[in-house]
Structure 1
Amino acid sequence: MTAGTTTGTVKEQAFDVLRRYGLTTLFSNPGSTEVGFLADLPADIEFVLGLHEGSVVGMATGHALATGSPALVLLHTTAGYGNAVSALATARANRAPLVVVVGQQDRRHLAHEPFLAGKLEGLAGEYPVWQHTPARPQDVPGALARAWHEAREGRGPAVVVVPMDDWAAPAEEGLPTAAPLAVDGRRTASDGAVESLAAFLSEAEAPCLVAGAGNDSPEGWRALTELAERLRCPVFQEAFGARAGFPQDHPLFAGHLPAVRSALRTALAPYDAVLVVGAAAFRQYPYAPGDFTEPGTRVALVTDDPEEAHRSPGELVLLAEPGDTVRRLLPLLSARDRIVPMPPRVLPAPPRETEPLRAAHVLAALAERLTPETVVVEETPSSRPALHALLPARAPLGFLSAAMGGLGFAMPAAIGLRRATPDRPVVAVLGDGSSLYSIQSLWSAAHYGVGVLFVVLANGRYAIMDRLSEREGAAAPAWPAFTELSVSTLARGLGCPAERVEDHASLLSALDKVLPGLAERREPLVLEVAVEADPEYPS
């Protein structure tokens, strides 16, 4: 397109903008205030329907994380935007760029607060990286262009509120001028800062590294692996990491950091220098008093997330792209001739088939059968430590979880991720309680032929909450179990193929049947596995 082109309506010009930025897949649950935009949708704009706004945003989040580019979401005024807030918070914590269009009532009677008028400003709190209501209809296309840049640079949801009558308004001539076509730039550490980081590591007798979700890229993995091998030091994964920042089958991988300060201090006590790459220092839950590290342990940090940089108590913090920074750091360091002591790793004992079927049996069976390029999307709080131990991430984007910690992410995110990477196997591992927060997304998986394997660990209760209640000294949890629930029945009711497994032999048979062809599969499958709840709280 060239300047001077005349486009008839705001809607037509808006679609030109969306095409220019590659926003041609639209994730939505439609409402009346968006019908003017959706009527006669152009053939090159693909509409992906989700049956709940949380699933809509979850699918878009998975798509954006897989492609690295903003995904497009359309939400319905207060009801849709409100339903989506938790998913938008997760998208922000997971650094997923989204362009979110929210419908609004007609401008011409907003002053009278008509039916379906939304008080939308601030509804999602501080989770959007940018929110804007254009002052006039002709500013909508430019606002969409700016939203793409805001989402991409802020790595989160950028929200544009559009009153329903704006789409039919006449557009101005030419292209919108509110945003550039492209922005070329990145956060690069100065030479002096990289030299200071090299000195920090060179002066250490026993350094260690901590990998975070922000290092989950091919360049990040390569650079951090070379750094660990040059320093001959252990590499931990951040606690509650939403993605893996280092190959977890590498001999120098030391496991996941503890999530409680007392245990974290013990884990890091043998090291006099800790370099955190692609994460904050340090993520914890629950609260415990005291410092993160023992006296004498120095902490440095490399992250391209300003919020992580600003809240981390490190003595040296570089706000820069992790992979590029570590790559520039390597020539400044000499290879060490002695290995820094590795912490002992206690892996779970292989489960015996004589035991009741538990989550560890399922995870061990998956570990024996999944290929390295498989993406595991996790949402099973009570089994997460076992999953980390038994299913190491072996390739970038090999592991994905909700950084916010809220439930309802894994099922739709796995769908969006597989749609964006159709030749990469995707397995979502969820608890039965977790699955209910976005169970309706299975309809989208079935309708659009998305070949995700959903492994639902069904123990008929909120096992993580039961264990936490026991820790508080309660004789019994205040909430009931829900053993009557059948996830496989719900899945089939939504048009999604499903099987229920209740013993070891059936589990292995089902996995052996579906996993060899998972990369080519174009139909989802829910595998509901009846498991006994783990008897202890995972630490």
Structure 2
Amino acid sequence: MADVSQATYDVLRAHGLTTIFGNPGSNELPFLAGMPDDFRYVLGLHEGAVLAMADGFAQARGGSAFVNLHAAAGTGNAMGPLTNTVYAHSPLIITAGQQVRSTIGQEVMLANVDAPMLPKPLVKWSSEPACAQDVPRTISQAIHIANLPAKGPVYVSVPYDDWGQEAPAETRHLVERTTAPANSLSADQLETIAEALDRARHPVLVLGSEVDAEHANDEAVRLADALNAPVWVAPLPSRCPFPTRHRSFRGVLPAAVQEVTDALAGHDLILVVGAAVFRYHQFVPGDYLPEGTRLIHLTSDPSEAARAPMGDAWVTGVRDAVTRLADAVTPGRRPALPSLPDIAPHRTSSEAIHPEHLFALLRENAPDDVVYVKESTSTIGAFWSQMDLSLPNSYFFPASGGLGWGLPAAVGAQLALPDRRVVGLIGDGSANYGITALWTAAHYHIPTIIVILKNGTYGVLRWFARVLEAGETPGLDVPGIDFAAIASGYGVTATSVRTPTAFVAAFEKALAGDSPVVIEVETAFSEP
């Protein structure tokens, strides 16, 4: 008979979870000691980086990722990046080692006391199996829960003396079972929404990250073209659901109540697809909807549907709904929208490159299928004004603002997408949180290109201090960090530039190579 470890690896293999992201401790060694040859272990030097790498990997590959953390301490280290996985709907299977069962109640060293409670409320589900024989089934349950709508991270704590116990014979059924969502708009529901769109004089689409996650981008274009409707991206997007150079594209909605209402004024129907309604940030109160405007919300997440303060919601598969709506609406009822002019970037001074200029240079010199993983929060507006994104999986951003996600997520995304080049656009404030991921990139020869935008300050906090009228506050500057030297210490080729010509030369050289590279860029201060 197989032991619990072997049976669990069989379950993981059946779901394609043969890559393990982790940083091991003593509680995890008995599980890892039995790792089969067809599995690979990706080591990170800090659990925060481990979890963010796994998140980037999962989002880029469009599936789950398996994470192995060290007891309570390792789980705690991963909690910051875990906040991003929740709102990105990333189906991470997070496991943590636990002390020997008979000693947990004594709170011995490395006991994870009340383990299932530790990651709540961030995880979708958490458990510590009641006995060793239930470990494989619990892991199977975790995988299915993580991947059923709405997708999200799950957590399982396993005592380390469980792995060597004999697995029950019935675990063989676990590798054969499947679960799948079957929710879809009924014919009547589809007709109701399509008729509302047809009757609307000035409809507008607001698309969220789930459109890109479900690879419904082309279907969203078909719907926008049929309606001749403008398209906004929902506030604070973690992905790009619509081509940024399409004539319907209007940009990203601001993240404040009144500012969203002002942006959508003049539209009698708002169709929100694959996003919350809405994720606000800065507190600018106002009317939730323009006067006389109806809002229709399509999402796979019952929680998003339930907590919205306005609108009519349908919980459904996003790709299916967008595809069928594009076929159901009546095309040509409104005049075609004109093409939008390009926005000329700010030019660069002799001291530093303006972020808009940097992003324009990237647009001109990056491959057409480039993937951007961005965690430079003060340059959001500059980025969207210059980028030309048209393919699914072209843009990833921390979904909940937890810093330290971007750099390791770029490494994970590159691991998942070996045929596309991943470029991490990381602020110097953010880079310090996840810098250890550079070692992983070097050790496993993962050819991510990390561009660190260095302006010596937490730029988004300086902007927010002005919004809040807080005046000058301490702790907003991070001067004197040599990221090229740090990267070299981790074994990554690195250079520092401050002119457009030098950046283009460094970027082209990085693209021509097959190793990780860090380009530190002196950039001017900008606001989001």
State the TM-score bracket (shorter-chain normalisation): over 0.9
For residue 301 of structure 1, give the secondary structure of its aligned residue in structure 2: strand
Deviations 1:42-77 (A, max 9, x none): 211211100011111111111111222211110111
The CA distance in 2 between the partners of 1:43 and 1:179, in whole Å, is: 19
Aligned residues: 526
2:102 is the counterpart of 1:102: no
Query: Which of 30, 34, 44 is matched with 2:28 structurally?
Result: 34
The CA distance in 2 between the partners of 1:341 and 1:291, in whole Å, is: 28
Deviations 1:389-415 (A, max 9, x none): 111321111111011111111111111
For residue 466 of structure 1, give the secondary structure of its aligned residue in structure 2: helix
Q: Which stretch of the first structure deviates more once superposed, 173-182 or 421-430?
A: 173-182
Alignment of 1:331-480 (within 5 A): 331-339=327-335, 347=343, 349-352=345-348, 356-479=352-475
For residue 156 of structure 2, give the secondary structure of its aligned residue in structure 1: strand
Deviations 1:108-143 (A, max 9, x none): 222211111112232112111111111110111111
The CA distance in 1 between the partners of 2:310 and 2:341, in whole Å, is: 27
2:37 is the counterpart of 1:43: yes
Query: Which of 519, 522, 525 is matched with 1:527 structurally?
Result: 519
Q: Is the 8 A contact 2:198 2:333 kept in 1?
A: no
Question: Which residue number in structure 2 is paired with residue 282 of structure 1?
Answer: 278
Q: Which stretch of the first structure deviates more once superposed, 167-176 or 294-303?
A: 167-176
Q: 1:141 to 1:475 in 2, by over 3 A?
A: closer
CA displacement at 1:382 relative to structure 2: 0.8
CA displacement at 1:217 relative to structure 2: 5.0
Q: Is the 8 A contact 1:146 1:178 kept in 2?
A: no
Gaps of 5+ in 1: 1-5
For residue 163 of structure 2, give the secondary structure of its aligned residue in structure 1: helix
Question: Which residue number in structure 2 is paired with residue 301 of structure 1?
Answer: 297
The CA distance in 2 between the partners of 1:224 and 1:499, in whole Å, is: 40
CA displacement at 1:180 relative to structure 2: 6.4
CA displacement at 1:499 relative to structure 2: 0.8
Query: Which of 489, 493, 499 is matched with 1:503 structurally?
Result: 499
Deviations 1:1-57 (A, max 9, x none): xxxxx31x2112222222222211110000011111112532112111000111111
One-letter amino acid of the counterpart of residue 151, structure 1? A
One-letter amino acid of the counterpart of residue 171, structure 1? A
2:186 is the counterpart of 1:194: no
The percent of aligned pairs where both chains have the same amino acid is: 35
Gaps of 5+ in 2: none
For residue 216 of structure 1, give the secondary structure of its aligned residue in structure 2: helix
Q: Alpha carbon RMSD of aligned pairs, Å?
A: 2.0
Q: Is the 8 A contact 1:206 1:340 kept in 2?
A: no
Question: Which residue number in structure 2 is paired with residue 3 of structure 1?
Answer: none
Q: 1:323 to 1:178 in 2, by over 3 A?
A: closer
Deviations 1:321-378 (A, max 9, x none): 1221122123332212433777987835442565742222211110111223111111
Question: Which residue number in structure 2 is paired with residue 236 of structure 1?
Answer: 232
One-letter amino acid of the counterpart of residue 147, structure 1? A
The CA distance in 2 between the partners of 1:217 and 1:170, in whole Å, is: 39
For residue 168 of structure 1, give the secondary structure of its aligned residue in structure 2: coil
The CA distance in 1 between the partners of 2:145 and 2:502, in whole Å, is: 49
Question: Which residue number in structure 2 is paired with residue 263 of structure 1?
Answer: 259
Q: 1:410 to 1:356 in 2, by over 3 A?
A: closer
The CA distance in 1 between the partners of 2:51 and 2:415, in whole Å, is: 14
Q: 1:62 to 1:502 in 2, by over 3 A?
A: same
Q: Is the 8 A contact 1:273 1:297 kept in 2?
A: yes
2:16 is the counterpart of 1:11: no
Q: Is the 8 A contact 1:470 1:477 kept in 2?
A: no
The CA distance in 2 between the partners of 1:471 and 1:219, in whole Å, is: 36
For residue 223 of structure 1, give the secondary structure of its aligned residue in structure 2: helix
Deviations 1:292-320 (A, max 9, x none): 22111111111112222112244331211
Q: Is the 8 A contact 1:254 1:342 kept in 2?
A: no
Q: Is the 8 A contact 1:212 1:279 kept in 2?
A: yes
Question: Which residue number in structure 1 is paired with residue 16 of structure 2?
Answer: 22
For residue 121 of structure 1, give the secondary structure of its aligned residue in structure 2: helix
Q: 1:346 to 1:289 in 2, by over 3 A?
A: farther
For residue 495 of structure 2, give the secondary structure of its aligned residue in structure 1: strand
The CA distance in 1 between the partners of 2:445 and 2:143, in whole Å, is: 28
Query: Which of 78, 85, 91 is matched with 1:84 structurally?
Result: 78
The CA distance in 1 between the partners of 2:429 and 2:280, in whole Å, is: 24
For residue 347 of structure 1, give the secondary structure of its aligned residue in structure 2: coil
The CA distance in 1 between the partners of 2:217 and 2:319, in whole Å, is: 8
One-letter amino acid of the counterpart of residue 105, structure 1? Q
The CA distance in 1 between the partners of 2:20 and 2:348, in whole Å, is: 47
The CA distance in 1 between the partners of 2:57 and 2:211, in whole Å, is: 19
Query: Which of 156, 163, 175 is matched with 2:159 structurally?
Result: 163
Q: Which stretch of the first structure deviates more once superposed, 418-427 or 175-184?
A: 175-184
Question: Which residue number in structure 1 is paired with residue 204 of structure 2?
Answer: 208
2:135 is the counterpart of 1:140: yes
CA displacement at 1:504 relative to structure 2: 2.6
Deviations 1:250-306 (A, max 9, x none): 111111112222222221111111111111222212122222221111111111122
One-letter amino acid of the counterpart of residue 485, structure 1? I
